[in-house]
Structure 1
Amino acid sequence: MIVALANQKGGVAKTTSTICLGGLLLESSSCLVVDLDPQANLTIGLGVEVQSGQLTTYDVITEQAEVLEAVIPTKSGLSLLPSDISLAKGETELLTKVGNFLILKERLEPAKAQFQHILIDCPPSLGLLTVNALSAADAILIPVQCQFFALKGLASLLETIQSIQRRINPSLRILGILPTMAEMNTIMTQDVLASLQKRFQDIPVFDPVPKSVKFAESNLAGEPIHHYASEKKLVAPYKAIATFITGELRRGKKTRSVKRGE
């Protein structure tokens, strides 16, 4: 199952959520995380410093390397397709290619046979890289910071998703909205959560992730939060999503098995 974590707003914990969710999925299955952001926060957050000559997402999407050639292990156990600033140049180069919306989907195909889960950490934009991620994904998870200004861009993202569903990837579905950096004792957070539930009644809204310095510390340590901190309230929202994704994968396999038997 390929899940894109996307929101054109920066600072909403897309990268942190990718690491946390990937680490939990890894407990029961194989998982690849893909850094599709030229800022390379996912790569840095997993303790990887890209060296000169190292293969990255740029080499994969520009068809200079196969995806499995570029995947590297990390100390957390997660497999990583790393990124660096060269990916910004890669997005420009994609503009001249035929079928440029589907290049990432094609390039990830060999990885689907090796990994049960692939998580894509998208850049904070609705540009060609994000469109490629949504074209390749089975589902999208939308992290949203518990601040009112963070809600404003959701409508544009949902319009982009609907456009991709109509024209490129009809099987893409919204896994849900994940409220992040929640301060549950504040009126702001309570109002944002109520607003999400009211405005997006047809989209699952997961339990909020509390605001905690432990997330930044775990990223500095290059570890998922459940390896770094013992507080259940920090892990529980991600564990619920990981359980949901694993269940969806099992149900999908069962459905395909029944169809083959028929």
Structure 2
Amino acid sequence: MTKIVAIANQKGGVAKTTTTIAKASLIGTQKTCLVVDLDSQANLTDGLGVREINDEQLTASNLFNPRQDPNSIVVSTRWGIDLIPSDIGLAQKEAELIAEPDSHFILKDQLGKLSQYDYVLLDCPPSLGRLTYSALTAAELILIPVQCQYFSAKGYKQLLNTIQAVQMRSNPSLEILGVLPTMSDTTNISKGALISLSKVEGVTVFAPVPKSVKFTESQLAGIPIDRYIRENHSIKESEELIERLILPYQAVVERLLALEIIYA
């Protein structure tokens, strides 16, 4: 059965896309995985090496047409991860969806036609608009990346309120997989943010992902971070970087795979 996971936070620059790509790459070594780029900036699409969308290629904006077969939108990447790409047209589509009653259920219905995948990861835009609401309505789980900064941790509580609203109105089965602190360092601000995140009862806080230029390098190269490290560093360097940068993502993936057993 397909597991749909939303990666969401209304604040930009918290590493949602980096997290989505890293998770998809790790999942893809064991399971079939589709990623859906729901941000009109198309950073996820670009980060997987899909640099140009031709006029004939359907994108995520077409996914919100109930008459469109979602399988016809999927493109394959060279990393063994399938992708529904995005482009600027998605911004206009979101404006149109606001005027349509019950439009937040379209994505859920469309993703139900992609049952060949073990996992579908939804990279949400940096807002609490209709696209994010649609993703939360479709998802079974939500992972919340939060930058280790004061205002990022503070804004996280606003997202929790939105999740509660979705649970009450359109998706009572939505569960929080956990919070993934990102871009952590040794400053007191970062340490304070981690303490603040840990105070929310009942929500798992994963080990933080440290700040590193390697994430930017991998995105510019269009290569998932774990594969970028292995392809561009010596064995010793790779082992050190993987332990420091990849293990936090691996812990999230292991939690996902463990839930398969629990809910089997």
Range of TM-score over shorter length: over 0.9
Which residue, out of 97, 100, 110, partners 1:97? 100
In structure 2, distance between residues paired with 1:63 and 1:83 = 17
Identity across the alignment (%): 50
Task: String of CA shifts for 1:132-179, please: whole Å, max 9, x gaps.
Answer: 000000010000001111122112211110011011100000111110
Shift of 1:64: 5.3
Q: Is the 8 A contact 2:38 2:124 kept in 1?
A: yes
Name stretches of at least 5 consecutive residues in structure 1 with no aligned partner. 255-262
**What does residue range 66-85 of structure 1 map to in structure 2 within 5 Å?**
66-85=69-88
Paired with 1:180 and 1:174, the residues of 2 have a C-alpha distance of 17
**Whole-Å separation in 1 of the counterparts to 2:101 and 2:189:** 46
Structure 2 counterpart of 1:259: none
Match of 2:219 in 1: 219
Query: Structure 1, residues 185-227: CA drift from partner, whole Å, max 9, x if none?
Result: 22221111111112x1221000000100101111122222111
Are residues 196 and 8 of structure 1, via their aligned partners in 2, closer, same or farther at CA, if it must alter by over 3 Å?
Answer: same
Equivalent residue of 2:34, what SS? strand
* Superposition RMSD in Å: 1.1
Amino acid at match of 1:152: K
Q: 1:1-262 residue pairs with structure 2 within 5 A?
A: 1-48=3-50, 49-63=52-66, 65-111=68-114, 113-183=115-185, 185-198=186-199, 200-229=200-229, 230=238, 231=241, 232-252=243-263, 254=264
SS at match of 2:179: strand
The answer to whether the 8 Å contact 1:210/1:233 transfers is yes
1:250 alignment partner AA: I
Following superposition, which runs of at least 4 residues in structure 1 exceed 2 angstroms of deviation?
62-65, 95-98
Instruction: Give the match for residue 260 of structure 1.
Output: none
Q: Partner of 2:113: helix, strand, or coil? A: helix
Unaligned residue ranges in structure 2 (runs of 5+) = 230-237
Shift of 1:63: 3.3
For residues 168 and 201 of structure 1, the distance between their equivalents in structure 2, rounded to whole angstroms, comes to 23
CA contact (8 A) 1:62 1:94 kept: no
For residues 68 and 216 of structure 2, the distance between their equivalents in structure 1, rounded to whole angstroms, comes to 32
Structure 1 CA distance for aligned equivalents of residues 162 and 73 of structure 2: 29
TM-score normalised by length of structure 1: 0.93
Instruction: Please tell me whether the aligned partners of residues 55 and 65 of structure 1 are also in contact (alpha carbons under 8 angstroms).
Output: no
What is the CA–CA distance in structure 2 between the aligned matches of 1:87 and 1:154, rounded to whole Å? 25
Provide TM-score, normalisation by structure 2.
0.92
**SS at the partner of 1:140?**
strand
1: CA distance, partners of 2:55 / 2:221: 23
Shift of 1:23: 0.4
Count of matched residue pairs:
250
Whole-Å Cα distance in 1 between the matches of residues 154 and 187 of structure 2? 20
